Amino acid sequence: MNDEPTADVARRLVADQMPEWADLPVRTVGRQGNDNRTFRLGDELAVRLPSHERYVAGVAKEDHALPLIAGHVSVRVPEPVATGSPTAYFPHPWSVRRWTDGEHPDLDATLDRRRFASDLGGFLRELREVPTDGGPVAGLHSFYRGCHVSVYGDQVQESLARLGDAVDTDACRAVWDRAVRTVWTGPSVWFHGDVAAGNLLTSDGSLSAVIDFGTCGVGDPACDLVVAWTFLETDERAVFREAAGLDDDTWDRGRGWALWKAVRWLFDPDGDQAAHAATLDRLLAGPA
């Protein structure tokens, strides 16, 4: 059994279980996510292999959720094509998706950032309007995205204690306190769960696709606002906020989610500490 999914594993899985595509070339995709390893299969398809057992639930969930969502949003989302079974050499289910062209926004030199912010907020508004019948209720499968942000209160407390004087802990606690004092009072709605530059695609300088719905579900949409501080700058954040159409309390919980992510990983030697520090700077710079 391989610890890390590779192109050779993907090639073997396709040959063994989907022989109609066995002659198609398999190529590693340059930018990989944490939850899955993606490989291009010919020109039209992509193979996705979970990188760990904890991400396996996302395979069946995407198969179910993506067709429910696709007809209600104005940008592309992944299209399920086939699902593979575990084997002795790869112990997880895996999937084949239609290949989605595009560039990641942080690499797109032509990106119109204000238009992108507006389009992304509009996508989140559309996503919330997708009928929730049959949607998976937020929980362990979504890593608690869509639940109340206080689910990670122990990690925030531990992280701030560990960081000590390296951050403005009083300001961080003020952000967190505002977040946990609010609740989502509307009906449960669809959320993506990991809206980040690596899961967004652009074409001609604007948003064209949203990918990787492995943490999606139905619940509180506040978790989808984290991108406001991880990627957007002040003026773009205002555009995004207006387009997303969420209230102040939800915005406060979104800041709480962003704070959790920043302080949780700020001291991780294997993570992008500069990016998390920049997120924290944006969070503490003002209320918006």
Residues 244 and 91: beta-carbon distance below 8 Å: no
Q: Does residue 136 register a pLDDT over 80? A: yes
Q: Which pLDDT does position 2 carry in this prediction?
A: 46
Q: Which pLDDT does position 81 carry in this prediction?
A: 98
Helix (H, G, I), strand (E, B) or coil at 165: helix
Report in angstroms the alpha-carbon separations of 44 from 79, 100, 164, 260: 11, 8, 50, 38
Q: How large a percentage of the chain has pLDDT more than 70? A: 98
* Lowest mean pLDDT, pick from 77-91, 214-228, 265-279: 265-279
Q: The pTM is what?
A: 0.95
pLDDT tens sequence across 96-133: 999 999 999 999 999 999 999 999 999 999 999 999 99
Q: Which pLDDT does position 288 carry in this prediction?
A: 59
pLDDT tens sequence across 24-59: 999 998 878 788 999 999 999 999 999 999 999 999
Report in angstroms the alpha-carbon separations of 89 from 93, 106, 137: 12, 36, 32
Q: Does residue 135 register a pLDDT over 90? A: yes
Give the pairing type, strands 189-191 and 45-50.
Answer: unpaired
* H or E element, residue 106: none
Residues 150 and 252: beta-carbon distance below 8 Å: no
Q: Does residue 1 register a pLDDT over 60? A: no
Q: How confident is the model at residue 3 (pLDDT cuts 50, 70, 90)?
A: low
pLDDT tens sequence across 138-191: 999 999 999 999 999 999 999 999 999 999 999 999 999 999 999 999 999 999
Beta bridge partners of 36: 50
Query: Mean pLDDT, the chain, as a whole number?
Result: 95
Q: Which pLDDT does position 287 carry in this prediction?
A: 66
Q: Which pLDDT does position 269 carry in this prediction?
A: 78
